[in-house]
Chain A
Amino acid sequence: MAQAGTMPVLATPSDAISALERDLPKALRNRSLEEAGWRRPDGMTLVVPLQGRQANGTVDEYLLKLGFAYYPEWPPSALFVNPQTLNYDSDKDKCWLPLIDGCPEIAVHAKYQTIGQLICCSLTLEFYAIKHDVKPEHVWIAQKHNFSATINQIDWVLKSPFYKGRQNALPSR
Chain B
Amino acid sequence: MITNPEQQEKHQHTVHIKINGMEHKTHPGENSVEHLRQLGRVPEHETLSQEKAEGRLDLEEKGHLEIHGGEVFVSHKRHHDHPEVEVTINKSVHKTHRGKNSIEHLKHLGGVPKDEILSEFKDKEFIDFGAEGHVEIHGGEIFVGHRPGEPIVEVTNLNTNESVKFFAKWDETLQQVWTTAYAELKESPKPGDELLCDGGASLMTYLSCTLAQLREKKVCLHRKYQIRRATGGA
Identify the A interface with B (CB < 8 A). 26-27, 29, 103-107, 119-123, 127, 132-135, 137-138, 144-146, 148-149, 152-153, 155-156, 159-160
Contact = CB atoms under 8 A, between A and B. Distances in A.
A120 B230 CA distance: 13
Summarize B's interface: helix, strand, loop or mixed.
loop
B234 A104 contact: yes
Contact of A106 (B162, B192, B200, B234): B234
Nearest to A27: B161
Give the one of A120, A123, A149, A160 with max B CB within 10 A. A149
Contacts of A160: 200
B234 A107 contact: yes
A137 B193 CA distance: 11
B165 to A, nearest CB: 13
Interface string B131-159: 00000000000000000000000000011
Interface in B191-234: 191-192, 196, 199-200, 226, 228-234
Contacts of A26: 160-162
Report, nearest first, the 4 A-B pairs whose CB atoms are least far apart.
A138-B232, A121-B233, A148-B161, A122-B232
A105 B157 CA distance: 18
B141 to A, nearest CB: 21
A138 B231 contact: yes
A119 B231 CA distance: 12
Interface of B: 158-162, 190-192, 196, 199-200, 226, 228-234
Nearest to A146: B160
A135 B232 contact: yes
B233 A148 contact: no
Contacts of B196: 156
Contact of B200 (A104, A120, A159): A159
A121 B230 CA distance: 10
A106 to B, nearest CB: 5
A162 B86 CA distance: 50
A122 B191 CA distance: 16
Contact of A144 (B160, B191, B233): B160
B234 A134 contact: no
Contacts of A148: 158-161
18 contacts: A27-B161, A104-B234, A105-B231, A105-B233, A107-B234, A120-B233, A121-B231, A121-B233, A122-B232, A144-B159, A145-B159, A148-B158, A148-B160, A152-B158, A152-B159, A152-B228, A156-B228, A159-B199
